Every structure is written in structure tokens, then in C-alpha cells.
């Protein structure tokens, strides 16, 4: 086993690698290198922690690690890019549940140390963790209790919230918001009762209080995310990411693990910042989103006039051949159809014909922040033509053709034109200002969020129905 100095040095090195990884992920060209920084940091952290002072039970630890690594490898190979949002949500749930178990175990060990100290018994038979507790003062043990109760509460909320997010993102549950009668009052009541139990626990009430706190927090996480609609899922994912980070940090304090504290704080703070960015992109207050989704409408949505007019591949390809400028707006429908490679080939042919082609990416396109950027990078679309909403929104008015692939809310003019729309005030890509708009869509339904889109009924819009990949493929032979 290695000494404490080696473990500390490894923790510092791993922390630096994690920071480099987070910094690199902000740039598409550096993202692959940044991922390797993260992998190296995590490998370093696991290896030196496992060999650190006071660690034992390798006969059980090593097989479990190998089993976990094998499961992770199998899942990673099977999961498609379209399934990444629900995978992330599932992984968040593991962190939350781990925090709950660590908190419970820490309390049992703390109670054992306190009882042995009171009885004047020898501490020689204690585990490595309990042995460290035996050297703490009563004030330090009380502070440990604060860490435990926070870890259990945050971890439990994260666990059930992430499970529900997984179910909604995977389509295994209805994406519409649902709550019990009383809604937010139930959540507030459960949180208040958790606080009362936490105070009782800190005053010596016993282990049963932690069990009840976990049960109440499980309910809060479940009920909270059940009450959030599918359209808010990008914010929910980043919010749960933040929760899992703070849960990990709480575990780090409990275990006196500096690396876990740093890593948890990095994840928690970055997730919180990302949640704020997502809310800003939707013109929503973070608290309003997590307490009930969009909401806030004052009346019925405006009636939509006109009809959806369809067009075939010949009509779309003719417009593209005549166009000088084209903007492509991808959404989750492109991910579902796995159409990114077909889109990349379309871009190659159009640019080869001398046309200006760019992408417009909304901050909440898809079901995970950066979802569309990752798909396009995977298909080798040049980074320099992939632009964010604020960079490209003013250019739609001078654009000949816009192709919308599987998007709904992020191109919905009702956000600006209808104050009673569920997405009123949300910044959107103003695609309707272009000369012609073609929408690749499977059918006439309202999509995942259930919100009708007046764009589909406008005079300059044509609906290009069908599977997105097959639709784009059908255009390629007809382009000049």
C-alpha cells in the first residue's frame, strides 16, 4: 500500500486533469483530447485511492470493480447517440444512491465509535474508516453528522429524480407533467419534515431519522421530476448533473477524501452553471422550471389558421439547386433517425456546388445540452459552419432555404407571437423569416412536448414528411 503523500499527490494530479477536461469540453476541436484527460484523471484517482492507507478487502473490491467495468463497456458499446441523455440520467442515479448508502454506513460507524468511547472499550478492532472517526472530537463528529444528512438528502433526491428523468427521456413514461393534488405544497411539506428530522438526528434521535429523511427525499425527487414536462428535459438533465456533483462532494467530506470533494464540486458547479445557461436560453427562471416546467400561461393558445402543405424530394432538391444560401436546423428527430451522416453528405454536395451552407443550433436542441453539436462532430461536419442561435438568428431573413430536421419548439414562432403559448418568451431560431422553409418530419403530430407549431402552417413552409435519413438520402441523387 502507498502512503498518504502519494495519494495526496495523485489527487492533485487527477484534479488538474479533471479541470483540463472540463475546460476542453467547451471547444469542439479540443473535446476529444478533453475526454482523454478525464479518463486519465479518473484512472489515476481510482488506482491511487485503492492503494491508499487504510484500504483493504481487495478480495471483494477487485472483482466488483471488474464486474462494473465489464458492464460499463457493454453498455457503452450498445448505447446509440440518441440514447445518451437517458444514459446520463441513469448514471446520475447511481451517484445519488451511492451517497445514500455511504451516509447510512457512516452514521452506523459513527454511532459505534460513540458507544465504544462512552463504554471505555478499546478501538483496536475498528475498521479503517471508524478508526479515523475515533480520533475526532465531539464537535468534529457533529460536523460529520451534518455532512451525512446532507449527503443522504441530496443523494436520495438525485436518485429518484434521475430514475424518472431516465423514464421520460427513454419514452418509458409519459413526458407530460403530472403531480399529486397539492403539487408544490407536498414537496414543501416533505422538505420541511426532512428539516425537522435532520434537527432531531443532530440531537441524537438515532438512525431511524436518516431512513425517514431518505424516504421523504426519494418522494421529493420522484414528485419533482414527475411534475416537469418533456420540453424542460435539457434543464432537468443538467440540474440532476449538478445534484449528483454535490452529492459526491458530500460523500467526499464524509470519507475525508479530498479528490472526491474537488471532483464533486467541479461537477456540481459546472452543472449549476449549465442549468443557468439553459434557463437563460429558454428565458425561464431556474426555480420556475424545476418547480413545474414551462407553465405560467394566462389563457388559451392562439388558434392556428391554414393547413400543412407537403412537398416531395423533387421539389426540395429543385429549391436547393436554385438556392445560394442554406441553413440547416437539426433537432432530436435527426438524432432518432440517425440522419447525421446523410446530412453531412448533403452539406458536402451543396458546398461542392458553391453554395453557402451553415447550421443553426439552439442551446436546448435535442434532449441534452450540446446533443446536436456532438452528432454533427461525429458525422465530421466542419466546426466552423456550426453556429449558435445568437450567431445566426439575424441571417435567416437573407437566406434562401432553411431545412428543419426534427425540430419543433426551438423553431416555433408562437414563442414570440402568442403570449398564451406554453413557450411564450422563449428565444427561438427565426427560421420563418427565410424565403423558403422545408420541415423534415415523420407526421403531423405535435411531437415530444405536445405543443402545436404555427411554422408548419405558414405560406413559405412546406412539410417534407418521412424518416429524416431516408428523406435526406432521397435528395442527394437529385442535386446538381
Q: Which residues are catalytic?
A: 409
Torsion sign across C-alpha atoms 127, 132, 138, 142: negative
C-alpha cell at 193: 419534515
> Which H or E run includes 349?
helix 340-352
For residues 21 and 38, the answer to whether their CB atoms sit within 8 Å is yes
> What counts of helices (H) and strands (E) characterise the chain?
18, 6
DSSP 8-state assignment for residue 386: E
For residues 407 and 337, the answer to whether their CB atoms sit within 8 Å is no
For residues 424 and 417, the answer to whether their CB atoms sit within 8 Å is no
DSSP 238-283: HHHHHHHHHHHHHHHHHHT-HHHHHHHHHHHHHHHHHHHHHHHHTT
List Cα–Cα distances, 142 to 99, 149, 203, 340, 376, in angstroms.
Answer: 18, 11, 9, 55, 51
For 108-143, give one letter per residue: b (16+ CB within 10 A) or e: ebbebbeebeeeeeeeeebeebbeebbeeeeeebee
**What residues have CB less than 8 Å from 268, skipping those under 6 apart?**
242, 243, 244, 245, 246, 248, 249
Whole-number Å distance between alpha carbons of 270 and 370: 14
For residues 335 and 361, the answer to whether their CB atoms sit within 8 Å is no
Amino acid at each position: 500500500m502507498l502512503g498518504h503523500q502519494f495519494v495526496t499527490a495523485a489527487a492533485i494530479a487527477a484534479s488538474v486533469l479533471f479541470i483540463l477536461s472540463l475546460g476542453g469540453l467547451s471547444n469542439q476541436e479540443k473535446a476529444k483530447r478533453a475526454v482523454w484527460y478525464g479518463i486519465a484523471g479518473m484512472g489515476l484517482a481510482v488506482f491511487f485511492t485503492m492503494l491508499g492507507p487504510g484500504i483493504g478487502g481487495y478480495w471483494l473490491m477487485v472483482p466488483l470493480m471488474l464486474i462494473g467495468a465489464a458492464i460499463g463497456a457493454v453498455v457503452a458499446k450498445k448505447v446509440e447517440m440518441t440514447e445518451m441523455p437517458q444514459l446520463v440520467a441513469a448514471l446520475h442515479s447511481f451517484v445519488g444512491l451511492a451517497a445514500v448508502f455511504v451516509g447510512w454506513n457512516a452514521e452506523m460507524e459513527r454511532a459505534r465509535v460513540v458507544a465504544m468511547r462512552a463504554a471505555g472499550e478499546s478501538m483496536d478492532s475498528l475498521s479503517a474508516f471508524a478508526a479515523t472517526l475515533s480520533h475526532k472530537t465531539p464537535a468534529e463528529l457533529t460536523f460529520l453528522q451534518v455532512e451525512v444528512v446532507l449527503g443522504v438528502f441530496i443523494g436520495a433526491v438525485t436518485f429518484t429524480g434521475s430514475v424518472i428523468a431516465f423514464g421520460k427521456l427513454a419514452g418509458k413514461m409519459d413526458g407530460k407533467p403530472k403531480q399529486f393534488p397539492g403539487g408544490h405544497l407536498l414537496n414543501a411539506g416533505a422538505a420541511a419534515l426532512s428539516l425537522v428530522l435532520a434537527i432531531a438526528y443532530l440531537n441524537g434521535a438515532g438512525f431511524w431519522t436518516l431512513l425517514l429523511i431518505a424516504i421523504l427525499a426519494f418522494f421529493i425527487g420522484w414528485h419533482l421530476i414527475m411534475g416537469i414536462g418533456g420540453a424542460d428535459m435539457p434543464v432537468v438533465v443538467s440540474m440532476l448533473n449538478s445534484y449528483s456533483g454535490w452529492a459526491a462532494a458530500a460523500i467526499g467530506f464524509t470519507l475525508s477524501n479530498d479528490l472526491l470533494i474537488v471532483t464533486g464540486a467541479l461537477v456540481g458547479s459546472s452543472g449549476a452553471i449549465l442549468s443557468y445557461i439553459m434557463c437563460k436560453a429558454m428565458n425561464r427562471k431556474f426555480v420556475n422550471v424545476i418547480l413545474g416546467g414551462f407553465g405560467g400561461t394566462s389563457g388559451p393558445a392562439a388558434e392556428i389558421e391554414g393547413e400543412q402543405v407537403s412537398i416531395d424530394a423533387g421539389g426540395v432538391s429543385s429549391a436547393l439547386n436554385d438556392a445560394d444560401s442554406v441553413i440547416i436546423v437539426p433537432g432530436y428527430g435527426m438524432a432518432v433517425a440517425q440522419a447525421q451522416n446523410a446530412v453531412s453528405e448533403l452539406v458536402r454536395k451543396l458546398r461542392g456546388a458553391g453554395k453557402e451552407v451553415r447550421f443553426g443550433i439552439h442551446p436546448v436542441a435535442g434532449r441534452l445540452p450540446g446533443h446536436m453539436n456532438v452528432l454533427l462532430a461525429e458525422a465530421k461536419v466542419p466546426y466552423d459552419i456550426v453556429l449558435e442561435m445568437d450567431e445566426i438568428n439575424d441571417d435567416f431573413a437573407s437566406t434562401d432555404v432553411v431545412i428543419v430536421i426534427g425540430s419543433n419548439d426551438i423553431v416555433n414562432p408562437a414563442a414570440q407571437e402568442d403570449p398564451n403559448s406554453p413557450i411564450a418568451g422563449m428565444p427561438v431560431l427565426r427560421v420563418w423569416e427565410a424565403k423558403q422553409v422545408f420541415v423534415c418530419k415523420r407526421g403531423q403530430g405535435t411531437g415530444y412536448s405536445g405543443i402545436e407549431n404555427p411554422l408548419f402552417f405558414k405560406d413559405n413552409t412546406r412539410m417534407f414528411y418521412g424518416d429524416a435519413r431516408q428523406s435526406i438520402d432521397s435528395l442527394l441523387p437529385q442535386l446538381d
